[in-house]
Amino acid sequence: MDERLKTLSYRRAQFLIDGKGSLEAYLVEAHKRLPNIEDRTIGDNGMLVLECRDFIHKPGVGAFLHIAAYTPGEHASVVPRLKGVSSGALQTTAPPDGCEFMDGDTMVFISDDHVILCSSSLHEKQAERYMTRIVDLAKIDVQAASFSLTKVANVNKLRLIKSQGVKSISLNASLYSATVDHMERTTVSKKLCGGIAEQVLALFGKDMSEEDLEKAENLSVNLRLSFDSRKSGAAFNTEKLESLANAMVNDDDDGFTIETIGGEKIRQDDIVLRKKITLPKFGKTVYCGDAWSELANYFQELKTGGLLEQ
């Protein structure tokens, strides 16, 4: 059976002003007041349409949502199968009658104010958008829709960095990042490695053909910043290295390894609470029931590990 690699991400609902209930309670009440799919369709001008295709509440366990996104009436690109020709244009096809082509979907599990998501081609902010809008449409409480989903770091790992100090930080990035627009370089790793990649290309670019440059994405830049405690008086000290490490954690940066002075190695996946799993494919997404089961299981893992209380 074909499978897809998926990421389960833990978030916590933070309300602007503490209300009378939890996000779970608000969503349960909202979907009671808006029981049908047509009632649970969020369509803002110029934005994806979001629909809750299924909602299940298990008292004492939590609430399960399946949110799908689409662009009304949008055609899908198709690749005609051709033989005996040197080129062939793509085509588009209209969705079947009574259907829309899905742009992406998200499965969500909510218990109290704890939220775990599993998305396919849909940013988690769209799930947040659906939840805030549906609570607002249900007119439950003035403050009920004033919340955001925030990342929660693994406090134990952050304490380890703080208590032991940072010995080195290793970064890696594709050399191809040098050709990426500056506006796309938002994380610390991309800024550092992207700048180095630009210098490498500038150094060798005069000797590289256009074809070689296009293949630069096959190369990678590895950068290691380390602190030598034997040398004193240096402008770059362990405090600055620790500050850089904290900036990378806060940016939710990818592709880094932090080594503490005590020899512990901490990677990005160790800090942000998330888990990678495989699930059976269902077209461009996965089966909702399978995803829900994994979401609930991960919640129990976090709860048993005491990570929900930090």
DSSP-assigned letters across all residues of the chain: --EEEEEEEEEEEEESS--SS-HHHHHHHHHHHS-SGGGGEEE-TTS-EEEEEEEEEETTTEEEEEEEEE-TT--EEE-----S-S----EEEPPPTT---EEEEEEEEEETTEEEEEEESS-HHHHHHHHHHHHHHTT--TTTT-EEEEE-B-HHHHHHHHHH-EEEEEEEEEGGGGGS-GGG--SHHHHHHHHHHHHHHHHHGGGS-HHHHHGGGG-EEEEEEE--TTS-S-SS-HHHHHHHHHHHHHTT-SSEEEEETTS-EEEHHHHB-EEEEEEEEETTEE-HHHHHHHHHHHHHHHHHTTTT--
Q: What does the pLDDT look like over 191-225, one tens digit per residue? A: 565 555 555 556 555 565 656 655 555 556 677 77
Domain residue limits, the chain: 3-74+93-152+274-304, 155-271
**Tokens 């449409």 found at:** 137
Cα 259 to Cα 241: distance, rounded to the nearest angstrom:
11
Whether the CB-CB separation of 288 and 56 falls below 8 Å is answered with no
Q: What does the pLDDT look like over 225-244, one tens digit per residue? A: 776 666 665 555 677 777 77
Cα 146 to Cα 238: distance, rounded to the nearest angstrom:
40
pLDDT, residue 100, reads 96
pLDDT, residue 16, reads 84
Per-residue tokens: 90? 């793509």
The phi and psi torsions of 46 (rounded to 5 degrees) equal 75, 10
Cα 201 to Cα 174: distance, rounded to the nearest angstrom:
12
Q: What does the pLDDT look like over 139-181, one tens digit per residue? A: 988 788 889 998 887 777 777 777 888 888 877 665 444 444 4
- C-alpha distance from residue 46 to each of 71, 121, 285 (Å): 9, 18, 24
Mean of all residue pLDDT scores within the chain: 82
pLDDT, residue 179, reads 46
Q: What does the pLDDT look like over 46-78, one tens digit per residue? A: 789 999 999 999 999 999 999 999 999 999 999
- C-alpha distance from residue 99 to each of 65, 73, 78, 95, 127 (Å): 20, 9, 17, 6, 21
Cα 65 to Cα 82: distance, rounded to the nearest angstrom:
41
pLDDT, residue 178, reads 45
pTM comes to 0.72
Whether the CB-CB separation of 194 and 177 falls below 8 Å is answered with yes
